[in-house]
Chain A
Amino acid sequence: MKLVLAIIKPHKLDDVRGTLDGISIQGLTVSEAQGYGRQKGHTEIYRGAEYETNLVPKMRIELVVEDEFATRVVEAIQGAAQTGAIGDGKIFVIPVEHAVRIRTGELDNDAL
């Protein structure tokens, strides 16, 4: 099993979800996140007081898939989340040791 963890632009979430639905992915977890990378944030001005905001809002999506699906999922996310500008985000793939479906007690691949 692999955990696919992606940081994407917030407005790309619907595209990513649509693409993942298209390759029969059953579910994913989404959380709002903030961070910075090469995209350095922006300036906010309140009555002339300027503030550099160096944390940019992002969406963090996580899903665990069987090993052989991981590559397709990564390609799907990359294709859907790409705008070509800096700040598009990153995708990480991490091995997962164990999984349990809480309702039934099914384990590992059966739990996904």
Chain B
Amino acid sequence: MTLCEGVKSMLSSYSKLACGACIGALLVAVPAFAQDAAPTATAAAQFTPTAEMVNKGDTTWMLISSALVLLMSAPALALFYGGLVRAKNMLSVLMQVLAIVCIATLMWVGWGYTLSFTGGNEFVGGFSKAFLSGVDVTTLAATFSNRVYIPEYAYVIFQMTFACITPALIVGGFAERVRFWPLMLFVVLWLTIVYYPIAHMVWYWAGPDFLPANPDDHGFLFGKGALDFAGGTVVHINAGVAGLMGCLVLGKRIGYKSELIAPHSLPMTYIGACLLWVGWFGFNAGSNLEANGVTAVAFINTYVATAAAALTWALLEQVVHKKPSLLGAATGAVVGLVAITPASGFAAPITSIILGSVASAVCFLFVVKVKNAFGYDDSLDVFGVHCVGGIVGALGTAFCANPAWGGQGWIDYTVAPAVPGEFSLSAQIVAQLWAIGTTLIWSGGVSLVLFIVIDKTIGLRPTADVEREGLDINEHGERAYSF
């Protein structure tokens, strides 16, 4: 499948309507769509989830997890990034993150959820649930277990928080040198053209009770067998490569490598990094969509991989720079979180520790050596941390999931009830490469085009005077600190 064909089939899907796991409820709520969805409905009619298949513990956990993931973006990521910029640009970063979270929230309700999580085609969903039509307090969303469901609203909310943090991550690639409104325009286009299709390709599937009857009702990369438990490709590789494209189109900050461009408040960065760690339990353990043993293994894997990665970075700094820095340890912690994300529900604690350490070492090399050798100004290392860490994590998932090394393997959902699939390391690596490659090419390519078009039309970069004086006072009319 070439990219061109991908675009074509994506566009054609906009006119196509299909339904996911909640087919029964949808047909009742939106009778107008029933005719289009008829072929799927006939097959799915054999099974209808009922309210008894919803567990209050699962529902509670998903709502708490959703709040934890929101904690990662509006407070945690904003402070993590904010502390890393100079004082004159502090508010611009906070404002960019907050505004992106708000925009992504509204878009998710409008057309994000439907394009990500309804049938459509392999590459993007349809419009059947635009503006959450058909979703109500009785509709249900599938989990990874047969006959276990959660309220669809809980699923909508949980996935919404992921759509919020992903575009917010991108701003790290070109912080301190971007105009506010053009960036917001980019975010609207990027979510629509890149994020929703990628989320659909990786995460959309009919659910364990529906897949046996509809074996083709899933996203493109799900069908390739790519394992991404909590969003290594969808969130981190996706955002990381987009940030790199923005960084390349916008160019370096004035004074890069010739002036002191040091973080203005590492305590804020520390607070942000630690809040990310806490919030990430919702991100990773919540991605199991239920509260059970796999949730707990995702939780402990997230815990230990982060600890290993933070210490690894500090030890490498001790060796290379003779001092272990707080910024280094905090960066390592985030790398560990990124890397364990796709593997969190598939790995064992010991392999998670190894994955965190390896990812930390690879990202250390990228952030400290490769970036400085190439001279691109990825202000807050969104590429070096999120994209590189995400790639290491996505490949590492193939190894960590191996049952021979204590992993959870993969589950064959084409039969009901689902059974463990036969694990092949080489086939899994190929599947992971499909996910990595597709995301890099689609997100990287579209982001590059979007940044160039916006830059050539309305302009992305502020004037040199504005950049020197700072974005806070010029773009937002306020300053972070008055002494």
Interface residues, chain A, with chain B CB atoms under 8 Å away: 44-49, 51, 53
Bound Cα distance from A47 to B314, whole angstroms: 11
**How big is the B interface, by class?**
10 to 19
Q: Which of B257-272 contact A (CB under 8 A)?
A: 257, 260-263
In the complex, which residues of chain B have a beta carbon less than 8 angstroms from the beta carbon of A49? 257, 261, 372
Contact pick for B369, options A45, A46, A48, CB 8 Å = A48
Bound Cα distance from A17 to B381, whole angstroms: 46
Bound Cα distance from A45 to B369, whole angstroms: 13
Cβ distance B402 to chain A, nearest Cβ, rounded Å: 33
Q: Does B260 contact A53, Cβ atoms closer than 8 Å?
A: yes
Bound Cα distance from A44 to B262, whole angstroms: 9
Q: Which of B356-401 contact A (CB under 8 A)?
A: 367-369, 371-372, 381
Cβ distance A92 to chain B, nearest Cβ, rounded Å: 29
Cβ distance B217 to chain A, nearest Cβ, rounded Å: 44
Q: Does B262 contact A47, Cβ atoms closer than 8 Å?
A: no
Query: Apart from A48-B367, A49-B257, A51-B261, what 6 extra A-B contacts exist at CB < 8 Å?
Result: A44-B262, A47-B327, A47-B331, A47-B381, A49-B261, A51-B262
Contact pick for B263, options A46, A48, A53, CB 8 Å = A46
Bound Cα distance from A51 to B263, whole angstroms: 12
Q: Check B12 for interface membership: any CB of A closer than 8 A.
A: no
Q: Does B321 contact A45, Cβ atoms closer than 8 Å?
A: yes
Q: Does A51 contact B328, Cβ atoms closer than 8 Å?
A: no
In the complex, the chain B residue whose C-beta lies closest to that of A44 is B262
Q: Does B371 contact A48, Cβ atoms closer than 8 Å?
A: yes
Q: Can you show 26 pairs from A to B with CB atoms below 8 A apart?
A: A44-B262, A45-B321, A45-B323, A45-B325, A46-B262, A46-B263, A46-B325, A46-B327, A47-B327, A47-B328, A47-B331, A47-B367, A47-B368, A47-B381, A48-B367, A48-B368, A48-B369, A48-B371, A48-B372, A49-B257, A49-B261, A49-B372, A51-B260, A51-B261, A51-B262, A53-B260
In the complex, which residues of chain A have a beta carbon less than 8 angstroms from the beta carbon of B371? 48
In the complex, which residues of chain A have a beta carbon less than 8 angstroms from the beta carbon of B323? 45
Bound Cα distance from A90 to B415, whole angstroms: 83
Bound Cα distance from A53 to B371, whole angstroms: 22
Bound Cα distance from A24 to B453, whole angstroms: 73
Bound Cα distance from A46 to B261, whole angstroms: 9
Looking at A46, A47, A53, the one whose CB has the most chain B CB atoms below 10 A away is A47
Bound Cα distance from A49 to B260, whole angstroms: 10
Q: Which of B33-80 contact A (CB under 8 A)?
A: none
In the complex, the chain B residue whose C-beta lies closest to that of A48 is B368
In the complex, which residues of chain B have a beta carbon less than 8 angstroms from the beta carbon of A51? 260-262
In the complex, the chain B residue whose C-beta lies closest to that of A45 is B321
**What 6 A-B pairs have minimum CB-CB distances, sorted nearest first?**
A48-B368, A51-B260, A47-B367, A45-B321, A46-B262, A48-B372
Bound Cα distance from A21 to B64, whole angstroms: 60
In the complex, the chain A residue whose C-beta lies closest to that of B262 is A46
Cβ distance B120 to chain A, nearest Cβ, rounded Å: 41
In the complex, which residues of chain B have a beta carbon less than 8 angstroms from the beta carbon of A46? 262-263, 325, 327
Interface string of B268-300 (1 = CB under 8 A from A): 000000000000000000000000000000000
In the complex, which residues of chain B have a beta carbon less than 8 angstroms from the beta carbon of A45? 321, 323, 325
Bound Cα distance from A20 to B371, whole angstroms: 53
Q: Which of B319-339 contact A (CB under 8 A)?
A: 321, 323, 325, 327-328, 331
Looking at A44, A46, A51, the one whose CB has the most chain B CB atoms below 10 A away is A46
Bound Cα distance from A87 to B358, whole angstroms: 42
Bound Cα distance from A51 to B257, whole angstroms: 8
